[in-house]
Amino acid sequence: MLCIPTVDFDVLRHMVYNQRGMTVLFSNSVLPKDCYYGGEPLGGTAMKPLLIDLDGTLYHGSHMIPEADHFILSLREKQFPYLFVTNNSSRTPEQVALHLSGMGIPADSQDVCTSAMAAARFIAEEHPGARVYCIGEEGLQRAIMDAGLQLVEENPDVVVQGIDRHFTYDKLAAAMRWIMDGARFVMTNPDLQLPASGGLTPGAGTLGAAIEAATQVKPLVIGKPSGILMNYALEHLGANAADTLVVGDNIRTDIAAGAAAGCKTALVLTGVSTRTNMEAHIQVAAVRPDYVFNDLPELLAWLER
């Protein structure tokens, strides 16, 4: 049940929404300055598990978002359980950790959960030992082999597709042939565009859209906004959804996936979703974040209070 403090004029700067879309007012003693807040506190004194997005939340491309290193160091020091959860299927967990540590963000491979890992696990559970035709890069190929699946070029049981910067017409034709012959179509993540140094580039979702158009078969999507990746991460972390906070910058992917998995969600306004477009993103995703913070320091201050 929400506790509403006495309202004064300063409180009017903190008009927010709870999960039912009702407007609720909170005083400055509850919030960091200019921080929007929705829903009830997590409650209790235990360190709550966190599932943390990467690009747009901890870094932009190869540049660390300010205080991301301090945020992760503080979580470690306070012994918050956490995982880095990414839609990026191209990198192995070791490569993700190396990318983070290269920017000064503490990371180990066991802290990483990718859409490639979740896709391989899903296929292995649904089709143990399956023959898999893979359109993807090292991270996806490695995950498939680690899951005990067979990488094949002919007669697959499953076609799994992620980002592939060497995607060709021949790969599209092969995927089309095998899917129309009955192979299951699995896509690691639906991101249509990826940020790059020269601007945006096509993402895994763009390649998947070509395969879907060719086959008229919709893929099973593993990554955000699907809850499959988040459920895999929860199992990997040994956490319950109701006790877990999903942290991300994108309402349409991070926040939607967290909600789909039954987690609380915290939006940081350091990436895709901003004060300007937040309401539009909420309308598209049909989900509202439970908590919204300007940046990681505000989120950390709230977690530590």
216/271 same-domain check: no
What is the tens place of the pLDDT at every residue in 272-294?
899 999 999 999 999 999 999 99
In-domain check, residue 230? no
Last residue of a domain, one of 173, 190, 221: 221
Confidence of residue 304 (pLDDT cuts 50, 70, 90): confident
For residues 210 and 270, membership in a common domain is answered with no
**What is the C-alpha separation between 38 and 40, in angstroms, rounded?**
7
Q: Domain limits at 282? A: 1-64+71-87+244-305
CATH of the domain at 155: 3.40.50.1000
Stretch 253-278: mean pLDDT: 94
**Percent of the chain residues topping a pLDDT of 70:** 83
Read off the pLDDT of residues 64-112 as tens digits, 9 standing for 90 and up.
999 999 999 999 999 999 999 999 999 999 999 999 999 999 999 999 9
Residue 31 CB partners (closer than 8 Å, separation 6+): 14, 37, 302
Average pLDDT along the chain: 86
Strand partners for 187: 161, 221
Please report the pLDDT score of residue 194 as a whole number: 77
For residue 95, is it within any domain?
A: no
Q: Write down the pTM of the prediction.
A: 0.83
The owner of tokens 């201050």 is: 301
User: Do 24 and 46 touch, CB atoms closer than 8 A?
Assistant: no
Residue with the two structure tokens 């979580």: 75
Strand 150-151's sheet: what is its strand order? Answer: 150-151, 131-135, 158-161, 184-187, 220-221
Phi, psi of 76 (to 5 degrees): -65, -45
pLDDT at 193: 81
Q: How many CB atoms lie within 10 A of CB 138?
A: 13
271 and 213 share one domain: no
> Number of folded domains in the chain?
2
Over the stretch 228-238, which tens digit does the pLDDT of each residue have? 999 999 999 99
Other Cβ atoms closer than 10 A to 196:
9
- Band of pLDDT at residue 61, cut at 50, 70 and 90: confident
Residues annotated catalytic, as ranges: 53, 55
Percentage with pLDDT > 90 across the chain: 77
Model confidence band, residue 161 (pLDDT cutoffs 50, 70, 90): very high
The answer to whether position 239 is within a domain reads no
Find tokens 């597709």 and name the residue: 161
Q: Hey, which bits of the chain come out as E strands?
A: 15-17, 23-25, 50-52, 59-60, 63-64, 82-86, 112-114, 131-135, 150-151, 158-161, 184-187, 193-196, 199-202, 220-221, 245-248, 264-268, 291-293
Q: Name 214's Cβ contacts closer than 8 Å, sequence gap at least 6.
A: 172, 175, 176
Question: Is 105 part of any domain?
Answer: no
Per-residue model confidence as pLDDT tens digits over 36-56 = 554 445 554 456 899 999 999
Nearest alpha carbon to residue 80 among 31, 26, 120, 42: 42
- SS3 at position 135: strand
- Pairwise pLDDT comparison (17 vs 263), residue with the higher score: 263
Question: Does residue 233 form part of some domain?
Answer: no
pLDDT band at 297 (very low <50, low <70, confident <90, very high): very high
**pLDDT at residue 11 above 50?**
no
Q: Is the pLDDT of residue 196 over 70?
A: no
Average pLDDT over residues 138-163: 97
Q: How many CB atoms lie within 10 A of CB 94?
A: 15
pLDDT at 14: 35
